[in-house]
């Protein structure tokens, strides 16, 4: 009997233990810098594992509606979360941050704030201005609202998401841009970065969506983001608190 028990024990030890697959999470591109360290510390503390996709809120909601297996979506506004809730029964929504917009400008254009941007546009000194595509990116909608108050605007260079819009300014494809403050702060390259008053555009109430049947790991990460640790980390990165 002892031999049989030993044999069964060895059999169990030799049997490969399949680790649970990582939990799929979709996140707005403005979280590209702030989210990974938060997630890594959460993984270390809990043993949960996540796979992260970044993109524009509209594209990620479309993917979720088309059957992408995201359990948690961290969107850049409330309207895309509402659209997902209207299409999929049983989702849960929670605000987790307020998005902040920033003016970014390459040095040498004389642009140091919105007033000097307007003057530079009027004088024809700005050839291209980068924003995220308003068709599916909340930061693009906010940027367009800010530009609406300026009258004439130069040709727009549209990024697929707010991170790509910023890259157009850093690589010189556009002289100025209106992008997410947390990304702009970290861009470097001598760019001029000026926070835009949130009163100039509809509020970006960044909202997370837990899909029906979301795992305890996905819920744990959502709790972390909306709890004191997550809010403090997001505030340090340049987000507002809802």
The pLDDT-based confidence of 45 (bands split at 50, 70, 90) is very high
Contact 165, 182 (CB under 8 A): no
Following DSSP, what letter does each residue of 39-101 receive, concatenated?
A: HHHHHHHH---EEEEEE-HHHHHHHHHTT---SEEE-SSSHHHHHHHHHSTT-EEEEEEEE-E
pLDDT, tens digit (0-9, with 9 covering 90-100), for 13-29: 655 546 679 999 999 99
Mean pLDDT of 39-58: 96
Phi, psi of 15 (to 5 degrees): -70, 125
The DSSP 8-state label assigned to residue 108 in this structure reads: T
User: What's the CA gap between 114 and 98, in Å, rounded?
Assistant: 21
Distance CA 35, CA 219 (A): 16
Rounded distance between C-alpha atoms, residue 82 and residue 18, angstroms? 36
Average pLDDT over residues 62-82: 97
pLDDT in tens, 181-216: 999 999 888 999 999 999 999 999 999 999 999 999
Q: Tell me the whole-structure pTM to 2 decimals.
A: 0.89
The b-or-e profile of 78-92 (16+ CB within 10 A means b, else e) is bbbbbbbbeeeeebe
Task: Return d(Cα 230, Cα 5) in angstroms, integer.
Answer: 48
Q: How many other CB atoms are found less than 10 A from the CB of residue 156?
A: 20
The share of the chain scoring above pLDDT 90, in percent, equals 84
């Amino acid at each position: 009997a002892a031999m049989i028990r030993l044999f069964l024990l060895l059999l169990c030890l030799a049997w490969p233990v399949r680790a649970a697959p990582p939990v799929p999470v979709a996140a707005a591109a403005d979280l590209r810098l702030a989210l990974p360290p938060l997630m890594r510390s959460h993984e270390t503390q809990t043993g949960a594992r996540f796979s992260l996709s970044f993109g524009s809120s509209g594209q990620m909601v479309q993917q979720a509606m088309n059957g992408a297996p995201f359990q948690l979506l961290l969107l850049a506004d409330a309207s895309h979360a509402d659209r997902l809730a209207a299409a999929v029964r049983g989702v849960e929504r929670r605000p987790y941050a307020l998005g902040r917009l920033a003016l970014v400008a390459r040095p040498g254009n004389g642009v140091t704030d919105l007033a000097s941007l307007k003057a530079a546009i009027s004088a024809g000194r700005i050839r291209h201005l980068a924003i995220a595509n308003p068709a599916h990116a909340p930061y693009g909608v906010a940027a367009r609202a800010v530009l609406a108050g300026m009258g004439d605007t130069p040709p727009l260079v549209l990024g697929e998401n707010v991170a790509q819009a910023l890259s157009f300014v850093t690589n010189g494809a556009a002289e100025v841009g209106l992008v997410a403050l947390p990304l702009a702060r970290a861009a470097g390259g001598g760019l001029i970065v000026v926070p835009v008053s949130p009163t100039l555009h509809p509020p970006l109430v960044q909202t997370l969506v837990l899909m029906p049947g979301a795992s305890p790991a996905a819920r744990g990460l959502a709790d972390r983001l909306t709890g004191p640790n997550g809010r403090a980390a997001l505030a340090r990165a340049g987000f507002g608190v809802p």
